[in-house]
Amino acid sequence: MSNYSQLVASAKANRRKRVFSDEFLLFEQLNRERNDLSLWASELDVVNKHITIDQDTIDGAIESYQELAEHLVEKLHWSPDDIKVFPQGSSSTQTLINTPGRDNFDIDAVCQVDISRVDANDPMAFYQKIGDALDKYDPDAKRRCWTINFSGRKYYIEFTPSVPLSTVPRTVVESFKLQASAKDYEDTALAVVDTPSESWKTSNPEGFTNWVSAQTEKSLLRLSFSDSRNYSLNSSISPVPEQSISLSDTLRVAIRLFKRHRDMAVRRGFIVKEAKPISVIIVTLLTQCYEGLSDLGATYDEPIFLLMELAELLPGMIEIRDGEYWVANPTVEGENFAEKWNDDHGQRKQSFDNWCSLLVIDLQRIMKEQDESAIRKRMREVFGYSAASTPPPRGLAPQKPTIVPQPPAKTGLA
């Protein structure tokens, strides 16, 4: 039994009273009697597919990522055994989603180097060395990583230089006051360079991915949907995992849909970009909540019921420690993902609460709808999608033009 079950029990006790209408309960009952539980599920599946980044884009991103990784291995002149490049963040947890509109998505990667190859006392020199090696890609220096943009592509790659925490000498650990890794995730703990403070900071992206992945194995659905696809990690350059996720992979689906809802809440004007809940907080809280529900033996008939439960419980998953908001990183002792919430006059916390409230209201509205087109319309409004398909290859002008001129300049709307 994890600690999160207590947090979930507390969140359940404190959540707002459900406001399902009688009509909804009747509809739920009717659906059960008809054994027709697929209306919401099928629409959620459409949304889930819609927000999946298309394979061409993923292939392009993987190619760029591989190229960069190989370039780093070659350019740094370190032994391939000493350098390891692997994805982190949403690309490794398979929760990468298509951003609405024209915004680019990011692929986070870690470049991990054996400590014996670097001077542990000079993190900035190590950080700069990785940046210099990426020079031909014109990288932008960020707080802990190097960002590489690819002109005309819908993605960018963020490379985080790191060293294994276990290999950092004790004197260095103490001099930089490095936080300890959580015991279950010691093997994967890293030290990354925090450029504003010019010091090492503890990180554990692989451990975090493993933690999320472990929870996804647990099923909270009574009925099973089609199986999710598996992927494997291997070698010193780990591939970006496939991003297509089945509806039965309920935790990942919940993460993806909630992230999408958050993005759409910004698009719809309900929250502002600057204060929107960051992905790592959504992922952490959802995974904790999911783990806690699993420990408590909760099960659900429909994915949307589980989504509703998670949405309602999320605000209660925020911890208060010594009067401060806390979203603890389960893989690094003492790291608080919500650190900024305590220093912004409550703006981010308010935004998080507003988003959770909107999410619950939106899900309620979807669940109250009683016919397919109404459900679809609500889903579209909330998640910003519409059904798309590959057009059949017919209907083209039968006579092939004999001359193909340069296409005229697109004038757009009059």
Partner 1 sequence: MSSNLEEFLVTHGSLGEQLPTSLSGERLFPIQLYDFPEERGFNHAWLVLDPKFPKGKAHIRLSKDAILRLPHVDSGGDLCITEDPGPRSKISAEDRINLLLNSFYLDYLGPWVSGKLDADFEVESLNYWYIHVAQHSNEKCAINRIYITTDRSNSSKTYTGSLLQPHRILLAGTNKDLANRFIELKSLGMPKSQVVNVAVAEIPIDCEFTPHTWPSSQSSLLNLIQYRLSLTQLKEFSTPKKRGRQVNQVVILRSPKCNYGFHLSGGSPIVVHRGGSSRAFKMAKMYPLTVERIDPSWTYGRDQISEITDRQKLHIVVFGAGALGSPVISQLAKAGIGRISVVDSDYLSPANIGRHELGARQIGRSKAGEIAHKVGEHNPSVKLFPYIQDAESWLNQHSLSKVDAVVDLTGEPDVREHIEQARKENLCPLIIGWMEPYVAAAHACLLPSDRFWFKSNVDQLGNLEAIDWPEDVIRHEPGCSTQFQSYTSAAAAHAVALVTEGVICLIDNKVSTPVIRSWVRGRKFLDAHYKGLHYRSWAEGSSKFDGVSMERSLHG
Beta-bridge partner residues of 164? 190
Whole-angstrom distance, CA of residue 193 vs CA of residue 214: 28
| The two three-digit tokens of residue 241, written as one number | 């995992």
Nearer to partner 1 among residue 191 and residue 359 (C-beta) = 359
Nearer to partner 1 among residue 101 and residue 152 (C-beta) = 101
The 14-43 contact track toward partner 1, x by CB under 8 A, reads ------------------------------
Whole-angstrom distance, CA of residue 242 vs CA of residue 331: 24
Closest separation in Å from C-beta 285 to partner 1: 20
Count of residues making up the chain: 414
The 92-131 contact track toward partner 1, x by CB under 8 A, reads --------xxx-----------------------------
Closest separation in Å from C-beta 275 to partner 1: 10
DSSP conformation letters of 343-412:
GTTTHHHHHHHHHHHHHHHHHHHHHH--SHHHHHHHHHHHH------PPPS----SSPPS--PPPPPP--
Residues 143-172 that bind partner 1 (CB under 8 A): none
Residue matched to tokens 């494997």 = 232
Nearer to partner 1 among residue 151 and residue 373 (C-beta) = 373
Residues 353-412 that bind partner 1 (CB under 8 A): 354, 357-358, 361, 373, 376, 380-381, 384, 386-392, 394-405, 407-408, 410-412
Binder among 30, 124, 272, 374 for partner 1 (CB under 8 A): 272
8 A C-beta contact, residue 123 and residue 236: no
Binder among 50, 84, 262, 349 for partner 1 (CB under 8 A): 50
Closest separation in Å from C-beta 330 to partner 1: 31
SS3 of 286-325? HHHHHHHHHHCCCCECCHHHHHHHHHHHHHHHCEEECCEE
Binder among 39, 69, 271, 338 for partner 1 (CB under 8 A): 271
With the C-alpha atoms ordered 239, 240, 244, 250, is the resulting torsion angle positive or negative?
positive
Only segment of 33-41, 141-149, 159-167, 270-278 that touches partner 1 (CB under 8 A): 270-278
Q: Which pairing describes strands 155-164 and 105-113: parallel, antiparallel, or unpaired?
A: parallel
Nearer to partner 1 among residue 13 and residue 414 (C-beta) = 414
Closest separation in Å from C-beta 149 to partner 1: 18
The CA-atom distances, in angstroms, between 368 and each of 20, 22, 51, 293, 374 are 8, 10, 24, 24, 10
Binder among 273, 297, 320, 321 for partner 1 (CB under 8 A): 273
The 229-268 contact track toward partner 1, x by CB under 8 A, reads -----------------------------------x-xxx
Closest separation in Å from C-beta 73 to partner 1: 35
8 A C-beta contact, residue 117 and residue 167: no
**Phi/psi at 178 (5° precision):** -70, 135
From the CB of residue 352, how many other CB atoms can be counted at a distance below 10 Å?
26
Residues lying near partner 1 in the complex (CB under 8 A) are found at 50, 100-102, 264, 266-274, 354, 357-358, 361, 373, 376, 380-381, 384, 386-392, 394-405, 407-408, 410-414
